[in-house]
Amino acid sequence: MKGKTIGVSLVVLLSLVIAMPAFADATVTISGGSLSVTPQSIGFGTVTLAGADQTVTDGDSTNWSAVDPTGAGAGWNVTIAATDFVDGGNTIAVANFDARLLDANISTVAGNTAPTSSITTYTALSTTAQTLLSAAVGDGMGSYTFVPDFTLDVAASTFAGTYTSTVTVAIVSGP
């Protein structure tokens, strides 16, 4: 009986050794994309001169977007600059064009820690780029929407016309 027990134990032991699981590797290569920002048009509509200085707001505010698919976690900044508003020979100075971005107006579409605003109170734009939105190192990886607010001061002495400013928005890598 002892021989049968040893034989059965040996068969069970050998079957365990033979039935050991096999392992395989699974790999994936992740490549990064490029930073991008998508601004929207800024429309102040029609302003009727009334003999007094006026401040008008952008009535067409819609979502802008910033996307970081780089996979680098280097952080980034969205910058904004503008030119004077011009209609023929008439001008409204860029210093009358203000922007702000409230943190409450920044949303995560997909990603990690959302970026934050760098301009939380109305600040005059200029021809020199200034940071509007930024993501720290390790943050801002993914897709985000944001809605900046704009105002324009129109002096009582402004000539009637259709004025245009060129707004330059860029996204650059780094904190």
In tens digits, the chain (175 residues) has pLDDT values of: 555 555 555 455 555 556 688 899 999 999 999 999 999 999 999 999 999 999 999 977 799 999 999 999 999 999 999 999 999 999 999 999 999 999 999 999 999 999 999 999 999 999 999 999 999 999 999 999 999 999 999 999 999 999 999 999 999 999 8
Tell which residue, 172, 112, 171, has the closest CA to residue 138.
112
What pLDDT is recorded for position 7? 54
What pLDDT is recorded for position 4? 57
pTM (2 d.p.): 0.85
Q: What whole-number distance in Å separates Cα of residue 134 and Cα of residue 28?
A: 30
What pLDDT is recorded for position 107? 97
Q: What whole-number distance in Å separates Cα of residue 174 and Cα of residue 38?
A: 18
Collapsing DSSP to helix, strand or coil, 139 comes out as: coil
Collapsing DSSP to helix, strand or coil, 104 comes out as: helix
What pLDDT is recorded for position 8? 52
* Structural contact between residues 135 and 115, judged by C-beta atoms closer than 8 angstroms: yes
Classify each residue of 56-71 as buried b or exposed e, where b means 16 or more C-beta atoms within 10 Å of its C-beta. Answer: eebeeeeebebbbebe
Rg of the chain in Å (alpha carbons)? 30
Q: From the options 1.10.3470, 3.40.50, 3.30.70, 2.60.40, give the CATH code of 34-173.
A: 2.60.40
Tell which residue, 111, 106, 42, 124, has the closest CA to residue 75.
111
What pLDDT is recorded for position 31? 92
